[in-house]
Amino acid sequence: MSDSERVLRAGMVGMGMIFDETYRPFFEQARAARLYDRPFGAIDVELAAVATKTGRRAEAYRLAAADRIGHFDSFAGDNAVEDMLARKPAFACVATPDDRHFEASKQILEAGVHLLVEKPSVLSLPELDELQAIAKRRRVLAKVVYHKLLDPDHKKLRTLVADGVLKHVNTGYCSLLEPKSISGGQFSEWIRGRNPGTYVAVHYIKLIDFTFGGRLKSVTATGQRGLVGPADGPTWDSTQLRLVYEYDDGRDAAFDIHTSWVTPDNFPGYVEQEVQFRFDNGVWNGHSRKRGVELTVENRTPHDLKTTINNHYNATVLEPWGERAQRGYGVEVIERFAREVATIEFGGPPEDRDRRLATARSLTYNDLSADRQTVAAVQALEAILARHAAGEPDCVVRVNEERGGLVLYRPGVAEPDVLYSPKVGATF
Ligand SMILES: NC(=O)c1ccc[n+]([C@@H]2O[C@H](COP(=O)([O-])OP(=O)(O)OC[C@H]3O[C@@H](n4cnc5c(N)ncnc54)[C@H](O)[C@@H]3O)[C@@H](O)[C@H]2O)c1
């Protein structure tokens, strides 16, 4: 294969905050340094086309990036994703608001293009089933970004569990607090009817599901309203979610995940993340905001610079060898996906492509086929909050019982609602 054919062309849907923090540095670094791995050698990765709502962010980026990025076509409006796909990317990434992931992802997979979608992949199991079936039929990858699984602390936690050093998780709590600027400014265009649980608790749902395994048994949730929207409306300030899992020995564990996007903007951390997991023989306490750095700069912290910074996720740095770089696990997770695609397309003879595809699909940290319990928890959370907003708080969703895979029980009502009939199962 000639060098000009060894190019991975990429598409991008949505160019907001997360594009800026993770995709942009990945595309710029790959353009400068190429991508190398023994199975596929050195290849180029090109951002070929983007699709956004208005096109304004794409133009702003084009100007700001100058020669750090090559030429890309920008499309806006109703046909933007279709137009982007006409540029024949090998893979495309979806970073739109969470209730707009499904349509774009479906179009991408139907076009026979590998997909990387931001978390949460989709909001319901029927949507997940559909994407999964298309990916299988079109013989492409369908993957989701949960960058916290690549956080060195979470890797260590999982290693201790996998090696049997920490034995049988019993309980866990996680808290993730986002500033008011997220709900009041950045997300104000699409926040009506949304909640911070689906948006950020999902990181911890996945961490728990991926790290400890087990079978999801039940989901309960409540929340508060009145700051982002009216106190009796469908838009949530904060949510508290409880998941109960069952393990092979028949014992349970309960996990509480608290999230908010109305923390004061002068809070010292940008995102407050705290976890505790208690085991038969140990305790893991983690605080990603207090990993050691506390910065004060007159007139700048905690607003335009943060007091406690998570340099592991994403840091703009001057490297010891003089280069400017933006690095961290937020960027690493995108690069890792590009390597998986490159291995499939360039990592051996064409007749072995299906085998390479199967290997990439078997990676449960990002494959949609392993996102079932996480999406089940999200679908249950959405349904419980919707009932709550409609005047019926305190519903419970039970998983895989005789009436169906996801069954919602309303207090005082004998007949439950079946949200999803098939069995949920950990994998597709
Ligand atoms: N991995 C993470 O930790 C992380 C962090 C933040 C956000 N996210 C996820 O990334 C996604 C986007 O979040 P964000 O913070 O970048 O949001 P944002 O509001 O900053 O940006 C959203 C972008 O999507 C575009 N968009 C909206 N509707 C569209 C449509 N129908 N078609 C094409 N483009 C459309 C907007 O023009 C904008 O460019 C969400 O799913 C969110 O959950 C992930």
Is residue 206 lining ligand 1, measured as CB closer than 6 Å?
no
Domain 152-312+373-420 falls under CATH 3.40.50.170: no
Q: Is 151 in the pocket of ligand 1 (CB under 6 A)?
A: no
- CB 60 near ligand 1, within 6 Å: no
- 48 phi, psi to nearest 5 deg: -95, -40
Q: Is 75 in the pocket of ligand 1 (CB under 6 A)?
A: no
Residue 104: predicted pLDDT: 98
Q: Closest residue (by CA) to atom 15 of ligand 1?
A: 17
In tens digits, the chain (428 residues) has pLDDT values of: 666 678 999 999 999 999 999 999 999 999 999 999 999 999 999 999 999 999 999 999 999 999 999 999 999 999 999 999 999 999 999 999 999 999 999 999 999 999 999 999 999 999 999 999 999 999 999 999 999 999 999 999 999 999 999 999 999 999 999 989 888 887 777 889 999 999 889 999 999 999 999 999 999 999 999 999 999 999 999 999 999 999 999 999 999 999 999 999 888 777 888 999 999 999 999 987 777 788 999 999 988 888 888 889 999 999 999 999 999 999 999 999 999 999 999 999 999 999 999 999 999 999 999 999 999 999 999 999 999 999 999 999 999 999 999 999 999 999 999 999 999 986 65
Question: 145 C-alpha to center of ligand 1: Å?
Answer: 13
Residue 354 CA to ligand 1 centre (angstroms):
32
Q: Does ligand 1 have an atom closer than 6 angstroms to the CB of 18?
A: yes
What is residue 4's predicted lDDT score, i.e. its pLDDT? Answer: 67
For ligand 1, mutation pick of 50, 118, 144, 365 (most atoms within 8 Å of CB): 118
Q: Is 98 in the pocket of ligand 1 (CB under 6 A)?
A: yes
Q: What is the distance in A from the centroid of ligand 1 to the CA of 118?
A: 8
- Give the per-residue pLDDT at 68: 95
Residue 203 gets the label, from left (phi > 0), alpha (psi -120 to 50) or beta, of alpha
Among candidate residues 307, 309, 305, the one with its CA nearest the CA of residue 288 = 309
Asked if residue 15 has its Cβ within 6 Å of ligand 1, the reply is yes
Residue 109 CB partners (closer than 8 Å, separation 6+): 115, 131, 134, 135, 138, 140, 142
100 CB near ligand 1 (under 6 Å): yes
Ligand 1 neighbourhood includes 118 CB (under 6 angstroms): yes
Q: What is the CATH number of domain 3-148+320-363?
A: 3.40.50.720
Residue ID of nearest Cα to ligand 1 atom 21: 16
Q: How far is CA 350 from its chain centroid?
A: 31
CATH 3.40.50.720 residue ranges for the chain: 3-148+320-363
Unique residue bearing structure tokens 């949730």: 221
pTM to 2 decimals? Answer: 0.95
What pLDDT is stored for residue 298 in this prediction? Answer: 96
CA distance 208 to 216: 10
- Tell whether ligand 1 has an atom less than 6 A from the beta carbon of residue 187: yes
pLDDT in the model for residue 427: 63
CA distances from 48 to 44, 84, 228, 291 (A): 12, 8, 37, 38
- Delimit the CATH 3.30.360.10 region(s) of the chain: 152-312+373-420
